[in-house]
Amino acid sequence: MFIAPNEQSVKIVALGATAVGKSSILLRAARNEYTDVHQLNIGAIYYRKTVKLQKAEEDIKLELWDTAGQERYNSVTQLYYRNAYVILIVFSMDDVDSLQKAIEWNNVQVEQNSAATRCLVGNKSDICWKCPQAEQYAQDNNLSYFVVSAKQGNGVDQLFQYIAQCCSNLKLRAQPAKVSIVTPKEYKKFCC
Ligand SMILES: Nc1nc2c(ncn2[C@@H]2O[C@H](COP(=O)(O)OP(=O)(O)OP(=O)(O)O)[C@@H](O)[C@H]2O)c(=O)[nH]1
Ligand SMILES: [Mg+2]
């Protein structure tokens, strides 16, 4: 379900409350860009990114899907996280309510998409660099936990190296019989 034909790219989706910085993290990762303007998402868009694995002579192609954080778009967001191989559950390090929202998203994902690799991502570490509650939650729930700043770029490369490594492992494990093809036409259907 995870690998698109020809491109061999893997679907990554960012979820989380509005204004936590989902778009900013993905923009930083895909284009090394950042803006202070909150351009509120109303649907989902995706970026492509190729990650060169540090430990191997291998390029991993990722599709980074950016979703809308406002609650009224939750039902739409569900369309996008289907078939994701890695789910980034993003919160803002300075906003405990957004951590609560991230926990809710994680619970939904455990129920609906248990096969996916889930990472808890604390963004805006330039404002607040430690969140013991998030650390504890990640530990208790066996989640990988990353602290990043989309603004300064800190931690973003490490996050995507980790993701690429997970995807590399997937490719090694992938059995053709278990991979169902997602055609470009289907992608178009999801695109806003
Ligand atoms: N200080 C700081 N601000 C950030 C960081 N990342 C994002 N922001 C700011 O936070 C605001 C929201 O960022 P977005 O990336 O648009 O948030 P989002 O999660 O995509 O929001 P929705 O699309 O509404 O779901 C913007 O004003 C960003 O400039 C960061 O690492 N540090
Ligand atoms: Mg956004």
Cα(172) to centroid of ligand 2, in Å? 33
pTM score of the predicted model: 0.87
Cα(43) to centroid of ligand 2, in Å? 9
147 within 8 A of 125, measured Cβ to Cβ: yes
CA quadruple 158, 162, 164, 170: dihedral, nearest 10: 180
Nearest-atom index, ligand 1, CA of 123: 31
Rounded average pLDDT per 10-residue block, the chain, 192 residues: 56 96 98 95 90 86 94 86 92 98 94 91 97 97 97 98 90 45 39 32
Domain 10-182 part of CATH 3.40.50.300: yes
Residue 65's DSSP bridge partners are 13, 46
Closest residue (by CA) to atom 29 of ligand 1? Answer: 36
Q: Domain spans of the chain?
A: 10-182
Cα(71) to centroid of ligand 1, in Å? 16
Task: Please list, in sequence order, all residues whose beta carbon lies within 8 angstroms of the beta carbon of residue 136, skipping any fewer than 6 positions away.
Answer: none
